Structure 1
Amino acid sequence: MNYENAGDVLPEKLLQEVKKYAAGKLLYVPQDNHKKAWGEVSGHRQVLVRRNQLILNKFLHGTPICELSKEYFLSEETLKRIVYSKKDTNKLDYHPTTKSAKAYSEAGMLEEWVHTYVLFGRRNKGFSEGLRLMDRCYLGPHVMPLTLFSRSSGPESGMKWRVDREYFEQKVIRWTKRIQVGEDTPPLIVNYAQGKLELNCGNPLLEALNRVGVSEYPVIIWVTELADYEQCLEDYAMHV
């Protein structure tokens, strides 16, 4: 009988409980007598696929195996199998582009794209950690009119987050040049709650888009409440 590493199969919390009683031991887990319902196993497998994708993305962006081991409570041997495996056909290439975000969305891993982009494209670990504090639903990328959005940060007085004028202008100029040469730039990231949209990530990009005269642009929207999720789909005629 073949065996699998428990770190590849069990959820992190359950794995820690098993280790208390049988760390280092070879266990046999008998099957239930009743037939499992469809999705009972495959659903968890998808969770592992998504976890492994984010682990791979972090590794490829320079996060050491030892740090990943502490973060995910997995042995270094297990992590090496995840990041070096050539048999896993579920792995996706990551790029900070709308095209890449769409590919992740189609694979059911839009959240993993968002975290990778926020961590390594925007270098905003605090925002990523905040997003992971609770379950959220991610929609998109959907092309939406830019008139729906306004900046939440900038050098102007009254902004929710005030930043240095010269620093902000430099970022706007860089985005403007990339837009003008036709680069595939990343989507904006927006929160929808209680009927309101708030731009979380991409304020200099939004300013550049407005200056260039772009009227519509891809957007990723995240929500935390089921009612907001349903209302967002209805308000903006979105399809999932």
Structure 2
Amino acid sequence: MDSVKKIVYSKKIEKHVTYAPTLGSAIQYTNVGMLEEWIQCYLLLTRKAAPTLDALTKDEYLYFGVVKFPLRLIQPNGVDSGGSLSNGTAEHLADSPPMLVRYEEGKFHCIEQLDLLAELKQRKVNTFPTIIVMKRNDDYKRFMKYYGTIFHYVDHV
């Protein structure tokens, strides 16, 4: 156990990364092996008022990403794909954080960013950078069996 602690705590991070609630920041954190740290910063600092995300800060979760995720796989619960488009641009979408999607019992659910998902669907965007969140070991095994090798990691904005 001591050798594991020594390996983990002696891991040197050669690049300095600064947190921002953007896709670019999430990718930087992922590239240096600190995706969990980015998610914790995002949940604690940026999404403070979101009660649906509160459980993510208290329980152990597995995170997979940042990947190009096909939006058609997300269950349509609570997503309004009608209505008018916002005045946002492609730069606006690049400045937004990656989408958080929960994988549970073989299905994908948008956790909090329903407005972003609706905007992406209105714009007919097929894929969007996403972090996949799983809690249970059987969900992880099922995910890896069916999806583990087909998603492409996003390594730059």
* TM-score category of the 2 structures, normalised to the smaller one: 0.7 to 0.9
Q: What's the CA shift for 1:121?
A: 3.1
Residues 198 and 39 of structure 1: CA distance in aligned 2, closer, same or farther (over 3 Å) = same
Residue 95 of structure 2: SS of its match in structure 1? coil
Q: Does 1:41 align with 2:6?
A: yes
Contact 2:79 2:114 in 1 (8 A): yes
Structure number with the higher strand fraction is 2
Corresponding residue number in structure 1 for 2:32: 107
Structure number with the higher helix fraction is 1
Contact 1:149 1:198 in 2 (8 A): yes
Percentage identity across aligned positions?
A: 26
CA distance in 1, matches of 2:59, 2:92: 38
Q: What's the CA shift for 1:182?
A: 6.1
Corresponding residue number in structure 2 for 1:132: 57
Residues 127 and 113 of structure 1: CA distance in aligned 2, closer, same or farther (over 3 Å) = farther
Q: Which moved more, 1:108-117 or 1:192-201?
A: 108-117
Q: Does 1:235 align with 2:146?
A: yes
Corresponding residue number in structure 2 for 1:207: 118
Give the AA of the match of 2:29.
Y
Residues 134 and 182 of structure 1: CA distance in aligned 2, closer, same or farther (over 3 Å) = closer
Match of 1:216 among 111, 121, 127: 127
Contact 2:66 2:98 in 1 (8 A): yes
1:86-125 C-alpha deviation (Å, 9 max, x unpaired): xx86652012222211111222221221222233333335
Residues 225 and 96 of structure 1: CA distance in aligned 2, closer, same or farther (over 3 Å) = same
1:61-107 C-alpha deviation (Å, 9 max, x unpaired): xxxxxxxxxxxxxxxxxxxxxxxxxxx86652012222211111222
Q: Does 1:193 align with 2:104?
A: yes
Give the AA of the match of 1:123.
K
Give the AA of the match of 1:211.
Q
Structure 1 residues without counterparts, runs of 5 or longer: 1-35, 50-87, 157-168
Corresponding residue number in structure 2 for 1:142: 67
Give the AA of the match of 1:234.
K
Give the AA of the match of 1:188.
M
Corresponding residue number in structure 2 for 1:33: none
> How many equivalent pairs are there?
150
Residues 131 and 181 of structure 1: CA distance in aligned 2, closer, same or farther (over 3 Å) = closer
Residues 94 and 40 of structure 1: CA distance in aligned 2, closer, same or farther (over 3 Å) = closer
CA distance in 2, matches of 1:114, 1:37: 27
Match of 2:44 among 114, 119, 130: 119
Structure 2 residues without counterparts, runs of 5 or longer: none
TM alignment of 1:52-71, pairs within 5 A: none
